[in-house]
Amino acid sequence: MFEYLCFSAATMLLVTLGGILVSLLIGGWPAFAKFGFSFFVTSTWDPVQDIYGLSALIVDTVVVAMLALLLAVPVAFGVAFFLVELCPSFLRRPIGTAVELLAGIPSIVYGMWGLFVFGPIFAHTVEMPLMNAAASSPGSLLDQLTQGVPNGTGILAASIIVAIMVLPFIAATMRELLLTVPAQVRESAYGLGATTGEVVMKVTLPYVRRGVIGAVMLGLGRALGETMAVTFIIGNSHNFPKGLFDAGATIASTIANEFAEADPGMHTAALLASGLVLFVITFIVLAMARMMLGRQGNA
């Protein structure tokens, strides 16, 4: 009887995942049926005329997540190595806890901080100078990348905030992985005269390579689905962004912004369908992460 109860509770987990999938599929079906393949390759998002296309949203979602990882991964590696190899032991716990607290701050607080504090500083110290520099060479790569309005919101600003948010998750998983490396392996490398940097780059890191890829994928899964922080700072424009400073919108931010007020017809269906697309993308990424990580990684 008790076993049966426990079994049902465990099955609830499967039901939840299945329920998410089925409800998004049924709810989003009208959009898939009406727009067909063009739903994925066009970028018009027009609730007034009831025409919806996802391509700009998908591109923004992927670009923001990738840029965020590009920024967060080296930092997370550095933090994890610092905590495992370099940190004096009396500081290890406080700094470890501090990095974990970074993960505890609610997503929406990052959004407010990003919009009101980080954004203005970012606009003045990074966006403006870069755009001025680019102005002297129209058509160059820098010029193309810096298209947009330098107001501290947009693709790049959102990526930076998401990077800060996924950083602690990747760092914590990395740290866990590094601690699984047997002491003998590291010590024998030191015994051969390797420097700390060499031990980390040539011995420790290759030893946990598979797990590291998993940790990064886990971070990617988080970054793809990040909602509230992105909603605040990406600028919410459904056009294809012209550059990194331009406003955009991710799938999650669009749902957060529009769903509560969407009219019950095609708009709702299109949002549910975009939710399904997000679900499929994150599911694939997270499933790959789990296969690489095994049981490591609590994030």
Partner 1 sequence: MAISTARIAGRRIANGAFIAFCYFVTAIALFFLAAILWTLAQKGLAGISVQTFTMDTPAAGSPGGLRNAIAGSIIMCLLGMAIALAIGILAGTWLAEYSRDGRYGSAVRFINDILLSAPSILVGLFIWYLLVKPLHHFSALAGSVALALVAVPVIARTTEDVLRLQPTSLRESGVALGTPFWTVIRTILWRSAGSGILTGVLLAFARVSGETAPLLFTALNNQFFTWNVSKEMASLPAVMFNDALSAYDDLQRLAWAAALIVSVSVLGVTIIARLLSREQKST
> Binding to partner 1 (CB under 8 A): which residues in 190-219?
195-198, 200-201, 218
| Subset of 109-148 contacting partner 1 (CB under 8 A) | 109-113, 115-117
Least distance (Å) between residue 45 CB and partner 1: 17
Q: Can you count the helices (H) and strands (E) in the chain?
A: 16, 2
What is the spatial distance between Cα 258 and Cα 61, in angstroms, rounded to a whole number? 16
Residue 5 in the binding site for partner 1 (CB under 8 A):
yes
CB 205 within 8 A of CB 198: no
Question: Long-range CB contacts (< 8 A, 24+ apart) of 280-288?
Answer: 281/58, 281/61, 281/62, 281/224, 282/221, 282/224, 282/225, 285/217, 285/220, 285/221, 285/224, 286/217, 286/218, 286/221, 288/214, 288/217
Residue 70 in the binding site for partner 1 (CB under 8 A):
no
What is the spatial distance between Cα 73 and Cα 233, in angstroms, rounded to a whole number? 21
Size of residue set near partner 1 by CB under 8 A: 88
Closer CB to partner 1, residue 146 or residue 254?
A: 254
**Structure tokens belonging to residue 212:** 């590291």
Least distance (Å) between residue 141 CB and partner 1: 26
Least distance (Å) between residue 9 CB and partner 1: 3
Least distance (Å) between residue 296 CB and partner 1: 10
Contact with partner 1 (CB under 8 A) among 171, 172, 216, 244: 171
Can you say whether the dihedral through the CA atoms of 170, 175, 178, 180 is positive or negative?
negative
Closer CB to partner 1, residue 106 or residue 129?
A: 106
Task: Considering only the stretches 42-50, 51-59, 106-114, 237-245, report the one whose residues sit in contact with partner 1 under the rule CB under 8 A.
Answer: 106-114
Contact with partner 1 (CB under 8 A) among 105, 126, 128, 145: 105
Closer CB to partner 1, residue 56 or residue 281?
A: 281
Task: Considering only the stretches 21-29, 34-42, 134-142, 238-246, report the one whose residues sit in contact with partner 1 under the rule CB under 8 A.
Answer: 21-29
Chain CA centroid to CA 71, Å: 11
Contact with partner 1 (CB under 8 A) among 186, 222, 238, 267: 222
- Dihedrals φ, ψ of 245, to 5°? -90, -5
What is the spatial distance between Cα 120 and Cα 127, in angstroms, rounded to a whole number? 10
Contact with partner 1 (CB under 8 A) among 20, 142, 203, 205: 20
Residue 27 in the binding site for partner 1 (CB under 8 A):
yes
| Subset of 244-273 contacting partner 1 (CB under 8 A) | 252, 255-256, 259-260, 271-272
